């Protein structure tokens, strides 16, 4: 049985999430504040974490950052009442894999949970943890990335995006495909979150090198070549 941790300080929402997920066959552990979330999620093994941003003790952003600092790579779905692009980028940059804006439909929550678990399983089943393209190297176990021998520090979301490019070299990736594989979110043509993160990644792996690896195809997407 897959195990999901929930950090939510609103008892009604926490109970609703727990009931819905247990009815779908998941084992659920619930905490109600950020301090307990960091302690509980940092010590036990979970397949997925659902973390609310606004919590007493520590915010969901702080919990997410500290878990990633501990090298805990469990997929994280962030719950937020804030829906602007900047708010979403802040959550993703803290290490979240996906976000869901309140209020939300349970069907959408269950779809996001299923997609995150499915993507996590698919990455775990890929045996090659050393990804190399030209002079760029990624180790998916140690989470280290380097180019021409230079260590490159990436956020959790930048790492996922780069891994997606490295597993699909010389292939045009649409924004819709990137959103489904790297974020597991329904593609919204009104947001530029994907473009923002591609630019973040470009600054780290392309800016200081003559040969550029990430290329834009206008109105089509991106290609890593």
The pLDDT tens digits for 150-180 are 999 988 888 889 999 998 888 898 888 888 7
Residue 64 Cα distances to 5, 23, 178, angstroms: 13, 27, 22
Percent of the chain exceeding pLDDT 90 equals 42
DSSP state of 167: T
Q: At 120, phi and psi to the nearest 5?
A: -60, -45
pTM above 0.75, yes or no: no
pLDDT at position 101 over 90: no
H or E element that contains 117: helix 106-124
Exposed/middle/buried for residue 36 (C-beta within 10 Å: 0-12, 13-18, 19+): middle
Residues 167, 86: Cα–Cα separation, whole Å = 28
pLDDT digits (tens, 9 = 90+) for 56-65: 999 999 999 9
CB 18 within 8 A of CB 4: no
Residue 46 Cα distances to 36, 138, 167, angstroms: 15, 25, 26
Average pLDDT, the chain: 86
CB 75 within 8 A of CB 46: no
State the pLDDT at residue 219: 84
CB 167 within 8 A of CB 131: yes
Summarize the confidence of residues 204-224 as an average pLDDT. Answer: 91
Q: Per mean pLDDT, which range of 14-28, 46-60, 162-176 is the poorest? A: 162-176
pLDDT at position 188 over 60: no
């Amino acid at each position: 049985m897959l195990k999901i941790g929930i950090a939510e300080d609103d008892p009604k929402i926490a109970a609703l999430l727990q009931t819905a997920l247990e009815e779908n066959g998941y084992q659920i552990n619930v905490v109600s504040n950020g301090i307990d979330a960091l302690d509980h999620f940092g010590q036990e093994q979970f397949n997925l974490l659902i973390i609310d941003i606004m919590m007493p003790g520590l915010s969901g952003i702080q919990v997410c950052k500290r878990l990633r600092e501990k090298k805990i790579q469990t997929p994280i779905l962030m719950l937020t009442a804030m829906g602007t692009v900047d708010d979403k980028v802040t959550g993703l940059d803290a290490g979240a894999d996906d976000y869901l804006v309140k209020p939300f439909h349970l069907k959408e929550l269950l779809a996001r949970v299923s997609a995150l678990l499915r993507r996590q399983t698919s990455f775990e089943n890929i045996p090659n943890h050393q990804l190399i393209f030209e002079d760029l190297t990624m180790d998916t176990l140690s989470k280290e990335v380097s180019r021409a021998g230079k260590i490159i520090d990436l956020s959790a979301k930048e790492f996922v995006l780069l891994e997606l490019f490295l597993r699909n070299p010389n292939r045009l990736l649409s924004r819709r495909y990137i959103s489904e594989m790297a974020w597991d979110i329904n593609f919204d043509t009104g947001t530029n979150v994907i473009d923002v993160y591609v630019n973040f990644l470009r600054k780290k792996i392309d800016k200081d090198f003559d040969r550029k690896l990430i290329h834009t195809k206008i109105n089509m997407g991106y290609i890593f070549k």
